[in-house]
Amino acid sequence: MTELNEKAPANIVLTLVGNKIDLESRQVSREEAEQYAQSLGLRYFEVSAKNNIGIDDLFTEVAKALPKESVNKRRSNLNLNKGKEVDQGGSCSSC
């Protein structure tokens, strides 16, 4: 965390994620994880990738927290047609 605080951009979105909540035995209690996340000023989510629990909420909330400026900057840098010729005509070339 120290290195992130020193080197990462100020608007970085950091989130602590507890995975494998589908397992019966836990290494860290939810309360401990929430307290740790809170002590670092992080959001906390619990998920199960195996059972698809909490995954959508995690990504939705992280996406909402992203700064609009960086999202738009990355989107403008995308070139989906890189390396492909683009037909500028009025018909669909792959239909």
Classify domain 2-68 by CATH architecture. Answer: 3-Layer(aba) Sandwich (3.40)
Helix (H) or strand (E) holding 15: strand 15-18
Does residue 53 surpass a pLDDT of 80?
yes
Higher pLDDT, 72 or 26: 26
Does the predicted model carry a pTM greater than 0.75?
Answer: no
Q: What local confidence, expressed as pLDDT, does residue 10 receive?
A: 82
Q: Are 16 and 33 in contact (CB under 8 A)?
A: yes
| Alpha-carbon gap, residue 16 to 33, rounded angstroms | 8
Q: What residue spans define the domains of the chain?
A: 2-68
